[in-house]
Amino acid sequence: MFILHRYGFFGSECHTRVTQLSYDEVVSQQAIDLITLIGENDMNNSTMLITGGTGSWGEELIRQLLLMEPKEIRVFSRNESLQAKLRQALGDARLQFIIGDIRDRSELLSAFAGVDYAFHLAALKHVPICEEQPDSALKTNVIGTQNVIDAAIECGVKKVIYVSTDKASNPSNIYGMTKALGERLVLHADSKSATRFACLRSGNVLGSAGSVVPLFLRQIEMNQHLSVTDPRMTRYFLTLEDAVQKLLSAMEISRGGEIFVTKMPSCKITDIAQVMIEHSGNTHLKQQVIGIRPGERLHETLISEWESSCVLDYSEDHYVILPSGSSGGLAGERLPVDAIGKRSQNYCSENTTISKEETSLLLLKGGFLG
């Protein structure tokens, strides 16, 4: 397996190299690379907080942050059993686990005291559940996000990054609408406080809760046909390790008020299903079309048409949507003015699909064909 390593977190020099690894070596090799290359940075000896820290994003983020020699990482979530499992799995004295709900402002104020950097991951994320219970989605994804903002400002946090979704661009469902409102609240907060706020808008992470990949794995294990909602459907996908590295990169780069958009491939859901069937050897299994669920759409958009006029093609990892009328921040400090507005159309999964062979390589890199 060939791995491209690109590191340059929090002001350190960017390094690029290629190594060939067995799949069992990938995770440990990434840890070694981070320790070797990260150098001194703003995260050293800092206190960090992760809301929703016991999910798949949160666990991987904790593992990578621990390599940065932090003073303390506070894991804030309402899931007691997952906290207990994570505490046992990681066993690091720098981790502090806090049971709490972002709907409760007083719990957040207590958790944020003395925090330097915060990653806001907590959300209700399942599209059908949000469609069925829009009031709960509003309370968590909108009111909860405002509570996080208020606590961060009151406690003097240096920087907060909010993890958003492709469904916030041209939203067609309750989940996307609430996350889009969350983005607007975060950007508004940056304009009126000393705390810096920014967003990272990303697509799906392979293997995360609610992802189609674990569903297909379960169906293959149970010798069931694979459920595909519509054969035309496409989605953005990224491995968990890559997603978290892009999140950390955005935390470093941000000067406040930006929406970072991850550059990532999109796949046909039918290609994912067929690759997994073929790799399993159960070639008698077929794809069963079950119809689109409430709130779903055929394709996702990471950058809408109206946002494309204020987009920076920033790096190999990110596009950056700048605040309206922005003349400072990234535009003033890092990039030429003529880099703005390079995308003349929206960034849609229908137009960026990779081949079936490339989809197989992506699943292999994510550890789902090992």
Per DSSP, helices labelled H in the chain are 26-37, 56-66, 80-90, 105-112, 127-132, 134-138, 144-154, 174-190, 212-221, 240-253, 269-280, 329-333, 356-365
Q: Which class for 218: exposed (0-12), middle (13-18), buried (19 or more C-beta within 10 A)?
A: exposed
Tell me, yes or no, if 125 is annotated catalytic: no
- Sequence-distant (6+) residues with CB within 8 A of 192 are none
Residue appearing with tokens 């003015």: 337
Beta-bridge partner residues of 162: 120, 199
- Going by the DSSP 8-state scheme, the letter that residue 312 receives in this structure is E
Triad 317, 137, 196: Cα angle to 5° = 45
Q: What is the DSSP letter of 282?
A: -
Beta strand 287-289 pairing with 226-228: parallel
Out of 125, 159, 167, 179, pick the active-site residue. Answer: 167
Give CA 213 to chain center in angstroms: 17
Across 133-170, b (16+ Cβ under 10 Å) vs e yields: ebeebbbbbbbbbbbbbbbbbebebebbbbbbbbbbbb
Active centre residues (catalytic)? 167
